[in-house]
Amino acid sequence: MSPQYTTKTSSHTRPHSSFAKVQKMLEDEDPRFRGLDRMLARAYIELQRRRAQQQRAGLYMPRMDVCDDPENVVITAVLELPGMKADQLSVRIESGHLIIEGERVCPHLHTSNRNAGPSEPTPQAQALYPVQEIKYGKFRREVKLPDGVTAAHVRSMLAEGMLTISWPRDPSSFAEQARASAAAAQNTGGGGDDTRSGTA
């Protein structure tokens, strides 16, 4: 006699329960956070779109941190650019976006068959870089700037392979604070230094 198999059905299956929990979370979610969720989702999709475009164009994106402290009047970005010099970088503003571009050239660490004589047979070619994890070539990063930010507002500095760029959160209030600081420096006899770097 062949065994008989039965299937137990229940209206309270685990997938249905999980869906109900998610639906309950969405219903209980504070409406104030829904706009933030949509904004973050759009920003993530836009970042992935630009990354795909740059990969198709043969560009890579250096790693970057952006610090946005509400108690600070400026926003600061730091990019990893080891081995780069200021004259190898381009920092500019286009259509409200901060553009950072450059090219890191791969160094020639050694040359194959350097000691081989003219009569000696050429050995079989071997990989010169069995491990190659450092990215070389052209790179590009874009950062959306607040409305009204111009090249005069941007400060940049390259030190120890780290490019630090800052710009005001609110250009209008930043200009007022700059004038107040300049007036205070004149009253105290200070001249005030321009902190802009030649990379911008």
Tell me the pLDDT tens digit for each residue of 112-158.
Answer: 554 545 555 555 665 677 788 888 889 999 999 999 999 999 999 99
Question: For residue 131, what pLDDT is reported?
Answer: 82
Question: For residue 53, what pLDDT is reported?
Answer: 60
φ, ψ of residue 59 in degrees (nearest 5): -100, 155
Helix (H) or strand (E) holding 93: strand 89-94
Q: What is the pTM of this model?
A: 0.56
Helix (H) or strand (E) holding 168: strand 162-168
pLDDT digits (tens, 9 = 90+) for 2-51: 555 444 544 444 555 666 665 666 566 666 666 667 767 776 676 666 66
Mean pLDDT of the chain: 74
What is the spatial distance between Cα 24 and Cα 27, in angstroms, rounded to a whole number? 5
Question: For residue 149, what pLDDT is reported?
Answer: 92
What is the percentage of the chain residues whose pLDDT exceeds 70? 52
What is the spatial distance between Cα 4 and Cα 14, in angstroms, rounded to a whole number? 25
Choice between 171 and 93, residue whose per-residue pLDDT is larger = 93
Other CB atoms within 10 Å distance of the CB of residue 57: 10
Choice between 75 and 105, residue whose per-residue pLDDT is larger = 75
Question: For residue 178, what pLDDT is reported?
Answer: 64
Would you place residue 174 in the very low, low, confident or very high pLDDT band (cuts 50, 70, 90)? confident
Nearest to 143 by CA among 94, 102, 87, 103: 94
What is the spatial distance between Cα 12 and Cα 141, in angstroms, rounded to a whole number? 50
What is the spatial distance between Cα 146 and Cα 121, in angstroms, rounded to a whole number? 63
Q: DSSP letter string over 69-81?
A: -TTSSEEEEEEE-
Choice between 172 and 200, residue whose per-residue pLDDT is larger = 172
φ, ψ of residue 174 in degrees (nearest 5): -65, -40
Question: For residue 140, what pLDDT is reported?
Answer: 92
**Contact between residue 136 and residue 107 where contact means Cβ atoms under 8 Å apart:** no
What is the spatial distance between Cα 84 and Cα 87, in angstroms, rounded to a whole number? 8
**Contact between residue 100 and residue 140 where contact means Cβ atoms under 8 Å apart:** yes
What is the spatial distance between Cα 132 and Cα 136, in angstroms, rounded to a whole number? 10
Choice between 164 and 16, residue whose per-residue pLDDT is larger = 164
Question: For residue 9, what pLDDT is reported?
Answer: 47
